[in-house]
Amino acid sequence: MSHYYECKKGKAELSKSKTAPQARKAGHYPSVTTVLGIIKNEHLDDRWKPEKIVELCKEFIWDNPDMGYRDIKHLIYGTVQCPETGEEILSSEFGTRVHKRLEDYMNETKDPNMEIDAYDAYAAPFLAWLAKQGIQKEFAEHIVYDDEIRLAGSVDFIGKDPNGNYILADYKCRRCKGAKGKFYDKDCAQLAIEAWMFARMQNLDYLPSCFSICIDVDTEKHYQKEWDDIECYKGILRAKLAATIFWIDRMCEGVGQIEKRKKQILDDEIEMTVQILKDLKEIHHD
């Protein structure tokens, strides 16, 4: 589902716009995940998803003839056992509940009498990791945006390390099947562009560190991945380019605006390439 934000005078909130035409008319910005969603994954989009849909249709449609495409689509990523009821729920719903529990803990000062919850086991490892790293919470579910690239996003967690530098973290609930976490380029792009926007909003002279937190839905284990500078540079550029394409194709941007954005992206690409080369040179010498 696409999301759009209303961003005005330093404040942002999720809007009621559900489609690009509605957002364009209201002057709302697309979300980071909505924009990155146009980037195609050859294996995922051309093979795995179609095969999964066919498989699910064979399994469910015969006994449930009223099921439509949307119903099948929700089942693509499978189900997870709810720790509260033991029932199978959609993996997306499971992820939403884990995110909510983590948010509750981040804001527990507002409710010091929190009751024990079945999803605590999925939140506890992140809290332990923060304590071990000496990271203090600054914001939870914090919306960032930028008027230059006309993009907005909600960051799961923003904190400060022992040196007083900001870090951003994003939670992903996934079935790892023995792997030490599953992390993808799109995870990096999402975090990196949000870090870039946050840095601009806070007038920082550095890009905050970006951590993806993979939560194994089967074992409750957490895996952390810090994306390095080069990965983040590429992620920022990927997100900016996707945003430009989104505005051209979905938001019907005018020719003059397109030309201006193209020049800005070219300048950004040159700047990032130079920075990447500098970093690679330092790594080589080290």
Find the domain containing 56 and state its range. 4-285
117 alpha carbon, distance to own chain's centre: 25
| pLDDT (0 to 100) of residue 45 | 80
Pairwise CA distance, residues 21 & 15, whole Å: 13
Residue 207 contacts by C-beta under 8 Å, 6 or more apart in sequence?
A: 192, 195, 196, 199, 229, 232
198 and 153 Cβ atoms separated by less than 8 Å: no
Nearest to 151 by CA among 103, 188, 201: 201
Q: To the nearest whole number, what is the mean pLDDT of the chain?
A: 86
- Please give the tally of structural domains in the chain: 1
Per-residue model confidence (pLDDT) at position 183: 94
Residues of the chain with pLDDT under 50: 109-110
Q: What is the pLDDT of residues 89-127, one digit of tens each?
A: 888 899 999 999 999 888 864 455 667 788 999 999 999
What's the confidence (pLDDT) of residue 259? 64
In this prediction, residue 262 carries a pLDDT of: 64
**Which pLDDT score is estimated for 110?**
46
Per-residue pLDDT, 269: 67
